[in-house]
């Protein structure tokens, strides 16, 4: 049996001064991984480039998806988390090369003004907007908003960063 290969990825929990977390609604609802309508909300995330360390990838992905640069590091998750794509999705996503994603998560404090957040105009060479809407949400509600196959990762991330509050 072949050992599954996971795409290296980062995730960003962006926390505002009130202790709420940024979530965006995935723009392209026609993507193969959208297997659960109504669960299109997620935190920023994305792949790690070959020459990149996870924290640099975290800052780059956040900037590409939200235009946000005004942040400070709160915490890094103590371990890598992974999820498996449903088998039919895995065959179509990333040309079938990955069983899912292996993610390193970072919690960042948003230190800027909300006018800095711009999800409609991707930054840093990103060609398409990732999100079509965004909002601030309570951390404990995040697992119920994410697509079900990613839920265990979100539960782990919320547990890892549960002590983060307003700041």
pLDDT digits (tens, 9 = 90+) for 107-124: 999 999 999 999 999 887
Query: What's the whole-number average pLDDT of the chain?
Result: 89
pLDDT at 32: 46
The pTM of this model reads 0.90
pLDDT band at residue 87 using 50, 70 and 90 as cut-offs = confident
Please state which of the ranges 14-23, 56-65, 81-90, 131-140 shows the lowest mean pLDDT: 81-90
Higher pLDDT, 167 or 11: 11
pLDDT at 37: 64
What residue ranges in the chain does DSSP mark as E strands?
Answer: 6-15, 21-26, 41-42, 45-47, 71-76, 81-84, 100-110, 131-137
pLDDT at 116: 97
Mean pLDDT value across residues 16-31: 85
Rounded distance between C-alpha atoms, residue 142 and residue 45, angstroms: 14
Query: Helices marked H in the chain — which ranges?
Result: 54-66, 87-90, 142-145, 151-160
Phi, psi (deg, nearest 5) at residue 141 = -85, -10
Rg (CA), the chain: 15
């Amino acid at each position: 049996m072949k050992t599954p290969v996971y795409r290296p990825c980062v995730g960003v929990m962006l926390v505002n001064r009130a202790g709420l977390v940024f979530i965006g609604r995935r723009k392209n609802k026609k993507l193969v991984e959208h297997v659960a309508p109504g669960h299109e909300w997620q935190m920023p995330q994305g792949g790690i480039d070959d020459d990149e360390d996870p924290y640099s990838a975290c800052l780059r992905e956040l900037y590409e998806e939200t235009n946000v640069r005004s942040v400070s590091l709160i915490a890094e998750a103590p371990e890598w988390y992974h999820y498996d794509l449903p088998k039919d999705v895995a065959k179509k996503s990333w040309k079938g090369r990955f069983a899912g994603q292996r993610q390193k998560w970072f919690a960042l404090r948003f230190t800027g003004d909300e006018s800095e957040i711009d999800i409609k105009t991707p930054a840093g060479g990103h060609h398409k907007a990732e999100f079509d809407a965004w909002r601030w949400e309570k951390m404990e509600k995040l697992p119920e908003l994410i697509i079900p196959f990613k839920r265990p990762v979100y539960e782990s991330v919320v547990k890892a960063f549960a002590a983060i509050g307003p700041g």
